[in-house]
Structure formats: C-alpha cells, structure tokens
Amino acid sequence: MTGFLTLRRVAGLLVAVLVVLFVLALPFMVASGDIFFWDTVAVAVLFATSTNLLFGQAGIPSFGQAGFYAAGAYTAALAAQRGWPVLAVLVLAIVIAAALSAIAALVAWRITGLAFSMFTLAVAQSLYSFALKNGTLGGYNGLTGFSATSVAGVDVTDPGFLWYVVVIIVALGCFGFWVISRSSFGLTMRAIREDPVRSLFLGVNVRGYRVLAFALAGAGAGLAGALSAYVNLVVTPDTAYWTASAEPIIMLLLGGMSFFFGPAVGAVLLTALMHKLMNMTHAYVLYVGILLYLILLFLPRGVLSLSEVARAFRRRLSGDAQAVAAGTAGERAADAADATEQETSIVGRGRTQ
Amino acid sequence: MTGLAMGVLIFVVSSGLTLVLGVLRVANFAHGGFFLVGAYASYQIQQHHAQSLPVFIALVIVAGLITAVIGIATERLLFRQLYDLPEATMLLGTYALLLILQGAVQQIWGFNQKSQPEPKVLGSSVHLGSVEIPRYDILLFVVGVVVFLALWYTTKRTAVGRQISAVAEDRYMSSLLGIRVTGVYAATFTIGVFLAGLGGALAGPTLSMTPDIALTYILDAFAVVIVGGFGSITGSLVASLVIGLLGSYLAVYVPSLADFALYMPMIVILVLRPRGLFGAASGVRAAV
Amino acid sequence: MSASLSIRGGVKQFGGNTALSDVSLEVAAGEIHAVIGPNGAGKSTLFSALAGEFKLDRGSVHLGGKDITRHSAHRRVRLGIGRAFQVASVFPAMTVAQNVAAGVLSERRRTHIFWSSRALRRARPEVERLLEEMRLAPFADRLASDLSQGDRKRLEIAVVLALKPAVLLLDEPTAGMSPEETEATTRLVRELWRENGLTVLLTEHDMAVVFGLAQKLTVLHRGQVLATGEPEEVRGRSDVAEVYLGGGEES
C-alpha cells in the first residue's frame, strides 16, 4: 500500500472531482427543463441518505419516511406562501419533521419487530390522509403559489442558480449524516443493529436511541421535502403515500445500505431509471417491481458491493482453496452475521467504516 | 354501501392475509396484488355484463380459483426464494411482487376505470326501518357468514385445517410430529390467495376499478390483521366489522376523519396490546 | 469498586411454569459467589432477574444496599452490573477495537453524541489499555466474528470491563472449553477479581472451577434455594448430593 494514496482513495477523489465538475457545469450543458430533473435527483439523494440512517446504520426498518418528507414539504409551502425567507423555511421544516418523527417513535415506545414496521406505515398514511382531507393543506390538489426568489441575498429565479443552492444544501445535509455515522452515536447505532440485547446490557437505552435516530432521519427527510417544494413549486398529498416511502428504500437497497454513498448511488440510478421507464411505458411499476425483486435476490448488498462480489467470484473460479478460505473479512462477517437471526436487520453488513 | 358490508369485504380479504401471517409468518404485501387480480379476473369473465345471481356467484368463485392458480405459480417461482431471507427483506420482496402484479394488470387492462355491474335480480335496496340497505350488501353479508363458517370448519374439522393450526402454533414441533410443513405452507398460501381473489371479485361491483385498488385494500387488510391478531380468523372478523362500521360512521358524520377509522384502532392496539385482540402471545417475537 | 448484590424473595413465573420460587441470595461486596444446580434449576432465570432482563413477579433486588427492583436492564448496567453471556455476545461485524470502544463510550456516557467523532477518538487510549489487559491487542482491527470462541469470550470480558462494573455476572464462563482453556479462564477470573476489586457471581457446571474459585456457594433446585454457604460445607450436605445424583440432570 502506498500510504495515503491507495487505489480506493484515488478512485474516490477522482469521482469527487468529476461530481463537482458536473455540478458546476450542469446549467450550461442542459436545458432548464432537464435541470429540474437533476434537482429531483439531488433531493432524492438526501432523502435516501437520511432513510439509510435508520435502515443501514441503525437496522430499523421504517416504511413511513415519506410522511416526514411530506411534513417538511407542506411546512415549506405554508411558510413560503407567507413570505418567509428560504433559509428560515428550511430550518422550520427540519424542526417540524424532526419533532413529528420523535413523537411517532415515542408513541411506538413499546412496539418492536414487524408491528413496528406496520406502525411506521400507519403513521405515514395518517399524515397522507390528514393532508388529503384538510382544507388548509389544499386537499387533493395540494398547495401552490410560492417559490424561491432569493436565498441569503442570492437571486435564484434562474434555474441554474437554484440548482447550485439545492446541491449545496443537499451536500450539507449529507455531510451532516456523514458526521453522524462517524460519531459515537453512529457506533452505538451499529451496535444496536447488530445485537440489541447486548447493547441493552452495555447500558444503552435502546428505545431512547431509536427516538433520536428517528428524529435525525426525520430532519433529513423534512429538509429534502422542503427542497422538493421549492423545486416542484407544488406540494401534493401523494408525497406522503406509503408507496412514496418505498422509493428511498429501493434506492438504498440498489446502491447498498452498508455503504455511506450507497443510497446516493441508488438514488441517481433509480431516478434515472424511472425517468426512462415512465417515458417508455405507463406500467413502469412492473419493471420497478422486477428490479427490486432481482436486487433482493441477487445483489442484496447493492451495486457498490459489486467489486466484492466480483472478487469473491474470481476467487472461487480460480479454485484457490486457501484464498477462498481467507476470503475478505467483510464477506465472512456478512455470512456469519446473516446466519444469526436478526429481526430488525436487513441483509447487508460488513463495512466497518 | 353500509359499514357492515364494507366490513365483510375487508374480512374476506384480511382473513387470507392473517392466515398467511399466522402460518408462514410473512407479511404479504402481494396480497393486495392478488385482490386486484381477482377483481379484474371477475370483470374479465363476466364481460362487464350483469349476470344472474347464481351465475354471478359461480363466476366469482371461478375468479377466486384463477387467482389461486396464479398464486400457486407465484409461490413456486418467486415467493419461495424469499423464505430464507431476513424478515424485513422478505417484506420488501412481497412488496416487489405487489408491484409486479399491479404492473402486469396495468399492462394488460390499462389504466382506465372499469366498472363491473352488480348481478341482475338484485337491483334496488331493501328498507329496514329507516335504514336503506342495498341488496348487494345483503349478498355480501351472506357470503361473509358462509366464508367465516367455511374457514372455521376447515381449520377446526378437516385434517388439512388442523395441520395448518398446528404449524401456526409451533412450526418446529409440528415438523417433529411428522407434518409436512412445506405442504402446509403451500396449502395456506393457496387458501389465502383464493380469499384475496374472492374478495377482489366480490368488491368489484362496489368499486371504481383501477389498478390502484391493489394498494387501497391492502392497507385496510393489514390494519385489520394487526387489530385482530396475527393468525386469528375470529380476530379478523371482529376487527373488520369494527373498522367497517367505524369507517362508515365517520364518513357520514365526520368525513375528514374517515381514514382515521383505519389508523387509530391500529395504533391504539399496537401501543396497548401489540399481539392484537385475539392474537397469540408468542405471535410477535420480541426484540428489546 | 465492588458492591454487594442481593435478591430477596424473588418469584418469577412463565406461563404455568414457576422458574423462581422465593429465591433469596446475598452476595457480599468483593465476594466470589457461585450458583450451581442441575439444568432447569433456574440459574439463568436468576441471572436474568438480577440483570433486569425482566421484572420479578414478587421480591426485590438490591445493589450496594440500594433497591434496584424497578430499574430497567440498561439502568442496572449504569449502576454497575456487568453481564457476560454463556455464548459470548459481541458485535460480529464490528472490529475488536470498536466493540471495546462501545463499552468505553457507554461508561463515559458519550454514546448519544451524534455531532462529532471526538469522543470516539478520545476513547482510543482506554480501548488500547483494555485490549492489552485481555491480550487482544494484535486483533484490534480484526472483525469480532473472525475470532475463535475463546478469544470472543475474552473480548466480551474486555467490553464488560470497559463499563467499570461493580458486580460481574458470569454465565457459565467455561462452557464448552478444553481443560487448558478452562484453567486459563479460571485464572483470568481470579486475576480480574483481584485487580479490579469486583464482586463476582457466576454459574457453572464444572465443579473444579467452582471449588477453585468460589468463596461462597448456592445450590438451586427447581427454582428454589436448596443450600447456601461455604463450598466445603455445602458439598458435604446429603440433600445436595441427592439432587446431583438422584433427580435432575448432571453435566
């Protein structure tokens, strides 16, 4: 190993540079309608990353994150309609979504396992139903009549500038989740995911940590929702419909939930894929379903695990018994961990970073 | 449609779901997909003509059977692969199957609303005091009772039924006692899917049929199963009727809260009595 | 520092089965106390009750004189009860160092900090010290699942020690071990007890370990305390011999 410059690091740096260049150049490369598409990709990246705090790191399956996303979106719309400045709106959306998430987790204090997953579904659907039936929230048609004109003094009526602002906020949000994953709380959550009972006997109040995890994930979802409000210029109830909660989940599965950038990769792939599919056929859910099924069966640890899968495959092919036995530590950990029954966890372990 | 009739429909659909949940321990989102298939199959074979009552009943049952066959094929080919996966992954797998079924229906029949008329002979309503009860609702009541009795009889009196109960109670012991667990799984799943299809076929005339109904009924069914208890048919019945009645009451007097008829009992039960009204104590494996 | 641990009049029923029936046990501070009995006697249930895994139907639990009956499991850990399981429970997909770090962070009440990784870095010296003590330093960056069973037990002890417990609950520490490993583990337990000033409560099937370590002995049978006292004294009692040679299973 050549010290700091390992292959992985170099590849990572290269990708980072390319991404930055892409972000900067986008408004000059495409028409403003396409910038809108990339705005939604960016928002999806944030939403999926926030959801992975629960799925990938804490091992808590939540099927209702769209509810908090919608809460952020509606908060943003209502505040923006009243002329609040954009940054204040975003902060408000974060606070409200985080509070709702915490309340939901508190209500579900005693609930575990499958019942808990169903509960998260019920919460999102309640929020959907509330948005649909409530007059102030515009009912079926939702809310419009707001837009972002300037952010912190910068004029964003131009889609290109809005794009930059969206990307910056998404990047900040993801950075926040990065810090969380590396913090002691991140370590504690991983411990809880692996063995909730052992964590309990480590002195960790597991249920309390679930509330905190929910609040943090909810904050991210709310921020993403608020951004989506400014991007779409309309907020409708179906952003909270339970199937909308499945999208970030499919994204994090597609990219790989045990990798920090897995959800981001998955978000880009899925959004692009669905965009293509929706233009080709109306029955695109058929293909999304097939894709999800295939991922679950054949690539459960996501696209980013492909290099590991390929390495293992090559080793097996070459018949090198010793190499196969040595394996990658990550692989065997994955196998060992899969063998132990973990009720709250989905397939996907290994990365210790 | 009266609340009781609504309850009956939910009961038929959710009884299948609760069976699968109690025996296979799988929360099957694809159940909504089979509901959809049943509805559209019934629509297809009736050619959106109003049929006479006996023919209607026969065709509804046929639709249920068709769904069951599709269910068996799905179980063999797609579902079985999911058994060994962790619980939450399996949930997502059934969700994938739901999407596939819904997409297939969209592909074949398109998005436009279809309507399946009620059977002839029925027609207008019966008056019971001041309450007006559509005749189709009466048919549904009867069907509901029949289904409940049939299920009760099957699980308590027939050999297959008792095996199903045994496996639901204790899978490991049952296999030690020589019960072919995979066979029981297949049988349970088939019955469950049949019920979903039957429910769909029965619900057809009451709905504006679009592929979206796969999603609407599945949530109702899940709420009922949670309130009633995993694996309990009686629980399903009670919960369905409660939720059906509560829903129609709210729809009339407090429309903005109508959907809460669904979520409130569900949330209350989850908080106060997570195993459901009639669920087994061992039902939900406890984590921390 | 060590603390006393006791349970008084403990009763626990599971369904129709009475697992603990009026169990009373006093472990003095700094004592090594062994609980023995045939399978099904209630040893695991007793430990779970002491650790707070469930609530007793009747009776109370005291730690250092304080009534902790109402406290949840994680609260009891905070108050000083450290528990090691029969099958070493560690976090498989985390490294050895991370496992111990989890314990250190918990003891320092830093587990909730989500805005920075400073506490994690600050924990490193303590983690390294514990790894040295348990002779696990070469494995620091290996995944816990890669370790042998014996090493895993040592890792679990390291994690529990990180919590700076006053009382150590050891559930069959030498289960499934070879004679050499058993010998090593016995020595380890004695060392830890001496150096950290702990109170140790352990269950065991291996009588050699029991008589080599324990200062006091309690015999459980069918959820009840049959005898308690100094090992030699208890060993000589006929009703104890009866339980081991007559009814119940033997190891």
pLDDT of residue B281: 56
Chain B touching partners, 3 or more CB pairs below 8 A:
A
Is residue C202 within 8 A of residue C196, CB to CB? The reply is no
Chain C environment of A183 (Cβ under 8 Å): 113-117, 119-120
Q: Is the pLDDT of residue A314 over 90?
A: no
What's the pLDDT at B59? 86
C94: left (phi over 0), alpha (psi -120 to 50) or beta: beta
CA distance A35 to A30: 7
CB contact under 8 A, B103 and A285: yes
Per-window interface: B 26-45 vs A, CB < 8 A: 27
Do the strands C17-27 and C5-14 form a parallel or antiparallel pair, or are they unpaired? Answer: antiparallel
- The B residues from 70 to 89 touching A (CB cutoff 8 Å) are 78, 81-82, 85-89
Nearest by CB to A183, which of C85, C107, C114? Answer: C114
Are A203 and C78 inside 8 Å of each other by CB? yes
Cβ contacts from A onto B, under 8 A: 154
Closest CB from C72, C92, C98 relative to A333 = C92
Q: Do A293 and B88 touch (CB under 8 A)?
A: no
Asked if the C-beta of C60 comes within 8 angstroms of chain A's C-beta atoms, the answer is no
d(CA A92, CA A72): 8
Amino acid identity, position B76? R
CA distance A304 to chain C (A): 18
Sequence-separated (6 or more) residues with CB below 8 Å from residue C72: A205, C52
Q: What is the mean pLDDT of chain A?
A: 84
Q: Whose CA is closest to B259, among A130, C187, C196, C106?
A: A130
Pairwise CB contact (< 8 Å): A293 & B100: yes
Q: Residue A187's pLDDT is what? A: 93
Query: What integer is the mean pLDDT of A46-60?
Result: 94
* Residue A195 C-alpha from the chain's centroid: 23
C98–A352: do the CB atoms touch at under 8 Å?
A: yes
Q: Token pair for residue B13?
A: 């659909």
The yes-or-no verdict on residue A349 having pLDDT over 80 is: no
Domain ranges (residues) in chain B: 2-122+130-211
Lowest mean pLDDT among A110-114, A206-210, A328-332, C222-226: A328-332
From chain A, the residues in CB contact with C146 under 8 A are 329, 332-333
A141: which strand partners?
Answer: none
For B61-84, the pLDDT digits (tens) are 998 999 999 999 988 888 888 877
The listed range with the strongest mean pLDDT (A41-50, B84-93, C182-191) is: A41-50
Average pLDDT over residues A201-215: 93
Interface residue of A53, A109, A183 to substitute, partner C, most C CBs within 10 Å: A183
pLDDT tens digits along B48-65: 666 777 888 888 899 899
Residue C92 and residue A194: Cβ atoms within 8 Å?
A: yes
What count of CB pairs under 8 Å joins A to C? 122
- Option in A207, A282, A296 nearest B96 (CB): A296
B 163-222 residues with CB < 8 A to A: 215, 219, 222
- Kindly state the average pLDDT of the residues A119-147: 83
Per-residue pLDDT reduced to its tens digit, A255-308: 998 899 999 999 999 999 988 888 888 778 888 899 999 998 888 888 888 877
Looking at A199-203, A253-257, A311-315, which range is the least confident one? A311-315
Given an 8 Å threshold on Cβ–Cβ distance, is B259 in contact with A297? no
Predicted local distance difference test score (pLDDT) of residue C99: 94
Q: Rounded to a whole number, what is the distance in Å from the CA of C238 to chain A's nearest CA?
A: 38
Residue C124 — pLDDT band, cuts 50, 70, 90? very high
Judging contacts by C-beta atoms under 8 Å, the chain B residues touching residue A206 are 288
User: Of A259-263, B235-239, C176-180, which gets the smallest average pLDDT?
Assistant: C176-180
State yes or no: pLDDT of A329 exceeds 80: no
Is C8 touching A (CB cutoff 8 A)? no
- Which chains would you list as touching C if contact means 3+ CB atom pairs under 8 Å? A
The domain segmentation of chain A, as residue ranges, is: 27-242, 308-353
